Structure 1
Amino acid sequence: MKRTAEFVMGLIGGIVGILCGFSGVLLGSVAASLQVDGSGTVSTASWIAIAVSVLGIVGAGIVKKSTKLGSLFMLIAAVVGFICISFFYTVPAILFLIAGIMGFARKGKGAVA
């Protein structure tokens, strides 16, 4: 079965997630230059969000070959990214979540309901 919808949503979610992660790194760097407490935590959490966005892109890439593993990667990226930088990661988390659930929920052509 073609998994084009999951692939496209995962790829867009990953790209947007990387951009959101870099905006969090930028925000953390500005806060560090202003000597705000906790700025290092923001930068670290943003780098983790970038890493899980890459994991989500990997999941989107393998969702056609290994549907369950790719869907699991996208669900992990949605949850961990949202925990790391919450509001900044809302759009990528929604895209990864929908793509991951679709990967688990959709049946193949030969499956019987």
Structure 2
Amino acid sequence: MKINYDCIRDVLLSVRDQEEYGDLHSDFFTERLGDKYSFHELANAVSLILYEGLAVGDYPTGNMDGNYDYIIRFLTVSGDQFINSVKDDSVWSKAKEEVKNNPIQTLFSFAQIAVSFFR
């Protein structure tokens, strides 16, 4: 599945905007972002966020019926730095344009580019 950086940003913003830390299950993200992204896009975004160490939680797991659940518990320092650097729409647009011109392989690389535009 292609990496959807907009979905990743929206998931991270949703976590950051919570006033209290707690387990944020797949239903939380589906309710807030399900009109913009499919369940599979959200699950993929969460998997990448966890894999790259931007948040702590549980990877998407499912059963034979295709029902999946995943959890984000909290952002890591790296996740907080990333989302603080790309919360501004103009910075986000610049970072995405840079990625279009210079394809990258990892979310971590994208985060580094975004942080460089923020500074």
Higher strand share: 2
Structure with greater helix share of residues: 1
- Largest Rg, 1 or 2: 1
- Smaller-chain TM-score bracket: under 0.3
Which protein has greater RCO, CA pairs closer than 8 Å, 6+ apart?
Answer: 1
Instruction: Tell me the TM-score normalised to structure 2 length.
Output: 0.25
